[in-house]
């Protein structure tokens, strides 16, 4: 394949990505940031956790993105009485054949919307864990590989904590990004209100990308170059969360119980490449790393009780680290 042809294919994919965003905007007003993060997850094979108060179109955005991508989609409403079998499937007895058969659960899809994931107990969440990490599901004695692409997009409500179960740290770490979804602007909310009140909401969207397009874009994102100095910069950022005193951020040391895991380094690299690709570049800039750092690291830093007492958030810590840690040559 000539370089000109490769460039033309890349440009064609860039146009299709913009078309995806345009199609989603027909249904979802605003929330471009959330859509961007969902697409970063899709093109880097990373799961995404969305956190925000009710009514911010988290569920609607995910289901609309799935339609535009023309992928198999399952919405699983997590509830306190949900069982692992409701998620992955179970063995059922076929009286006619006189034997047990596998009945696959809703997890056998390309995009899984785990709605209000923190509403279900640990047993259900652990059933999701194997699928997220290994991309496979075991039912009875049989292991099934999940279809590719496989992406878990989960939502959780940070306000109503009654009847919820905190996600285990091991599971939270398996999400590439935890994205905080904010309120719309006044103009956006006015537009939503007008569309709903005038019955002008059309949920019809056109599929834009095929599975082949998604795999091709993943390859192109993977080929985005990142310099050795920026690779080292990523490592320095992550190590600053583990040993803040060594990076002259002593004021943070008393608040951090555990720093970010090695998955932070891996996902910072991948997400920065995707951010660069979306900008039409085949190389990473420091700004790309800084742009995705908040969403990649905010759920991987575990704070202690002192931080809670002093109202210190992980986002505050990441901002200080981004300001203090230099890029080494």
Instruction: Answer whether 294's CB lies under 8 Å from 237's CB.
Output: no
pLDDT grade for 1, boundaries at 50, 70 and 90: very low
Mean pLDDT of the chain: 83
Contact present, 284 and 232 (Cβ < 8 Å): no
Between residues 246 and 295, the one the model is more confident about: 295
Q: 205 with 272, same domain?
A: no
Q: Which position has the higher pLDDT, 76 or 205?
A: 76
Q: Give me the pLDDT at residue 60, please.
A: 82
Q: Is 241 in the same domain as 203?
A: no
Q: Residues 288, 144: one domain? A: no
User: Residue 57: is its pLDDT beyond 80?
Assistant: no
Rg (CA), the chain: 21
Q: Is the pLDDT of residue 80 over 80?
A: yes
Q: Are residues 131 and 42 in the same domain?
A: yes
* Distance (Å) of CA 45 to CA 142, 164, 169, 265: 25, 28, 20, 15
Residue 164, pLDDT score: 66
Q: Which CATH number characterizes residue 244's domain?
A: 1.10.8.80
- Domain count for the chain: 2
The pLDDT score that the predictor gives to residue 2 is 45
Q: Are residues 184 and 120 in the same domain?
A: yes
Q: Which of 79, 94, 86, 171 is nearest to 125 (CA)?
A: 171
Rounded to an integer, the average pLDDT of 265-280 is 92
Q: Which pLDDT score, from 0 to 100, does residue 232 have?
A: 92
In a domain, 329, yes or no: no
> Cα(300)–Cα(312) distance, rounded to whole angstroms?
15
Specify the DSSP class assigned to residue 61.
H
Last residue of some domain: 216, 233, 257? 216
Task: Give pTM, 2 decimals.
Answer: 0.85
The reply to whether 49 and 116 lie within a common domain is: yes
Supply the DSSP symbol for 149.
S
133 in the same domain as 239:
no
**What is the b/e burial string over 23-38, where b = at least 16 CB atoms within 10 angstroms of the residue's CB?**
bbeebbbbbeebbbbb
Q: What is the mean pLDDT of residues 75-93?
A: 85
Residue 147 belongs to some domain of the structure = yes
Host domain of residue 316: 224-324
């Amino acid at each position: 394949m000539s370089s000109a042809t490769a460039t033309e294919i890349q440009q064609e994919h860039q146009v299709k990505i913009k078309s995806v965003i345009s199609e989603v905007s027909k249904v979802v007003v605003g929330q471009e940031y959330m859509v961007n993060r969902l697409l970063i997850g899709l093109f880097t094979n990373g799961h995404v956790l969305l956190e925000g108060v009710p009514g911010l179109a988290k569920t609607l955005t995910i289901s609309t993105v799935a339609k535009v991508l023309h992928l198999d989609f399952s919405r699983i409403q997590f509830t306190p009485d949900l069982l692992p079998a409701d998620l992955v499937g179970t063995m059922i007895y076929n009286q006619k054949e006189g034997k047990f058969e596998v009945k696959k659960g809703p997890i056998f899809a390309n995009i899984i919307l785990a709605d209000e994931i923190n509403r279900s107990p640990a047993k259900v969440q652990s059933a999701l864990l194997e699928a997220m990490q290994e991309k496979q599901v075991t039912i009875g004695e049989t292991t099934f590989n999940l279809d590719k692409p496989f992406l878990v997009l989960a939502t959780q409500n940070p306000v109503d904590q009654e009847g919820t179960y905190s996600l285990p740290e091991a599971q939270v770490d398996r999400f590439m990004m935890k994205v905080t979804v904010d309120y719309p602007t006044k103009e956006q909310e006015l537009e939503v209100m007008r569309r709903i009140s005038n019955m002008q909401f059309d949920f019809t969207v056109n599929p834009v990308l095929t599975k082949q397009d998604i795999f091709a874009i993943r390859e192109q994102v993977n080929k985005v170059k990142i310099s050795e100095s920026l690779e080292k910069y990523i490592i320095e950022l992550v190590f600053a969360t583990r040993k803040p005193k060594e990076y002259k951020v002593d004021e943070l040391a008393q608040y951090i119980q555990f720093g970010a895991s090695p998955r932070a380094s891996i996902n910072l690299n991948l997400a920065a490449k995707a951010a660069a690709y979306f900008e039409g570049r085949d190389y990473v800039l420091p700004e790309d790393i800084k742009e995705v750092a908040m969403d990649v690291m905010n759920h991987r830093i575990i704070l202690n009780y002192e931080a809670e007492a002093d109202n210190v958030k992980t986002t505050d810590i990441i901002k200080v680290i981004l300001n203090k840690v230099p890029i080494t040559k």
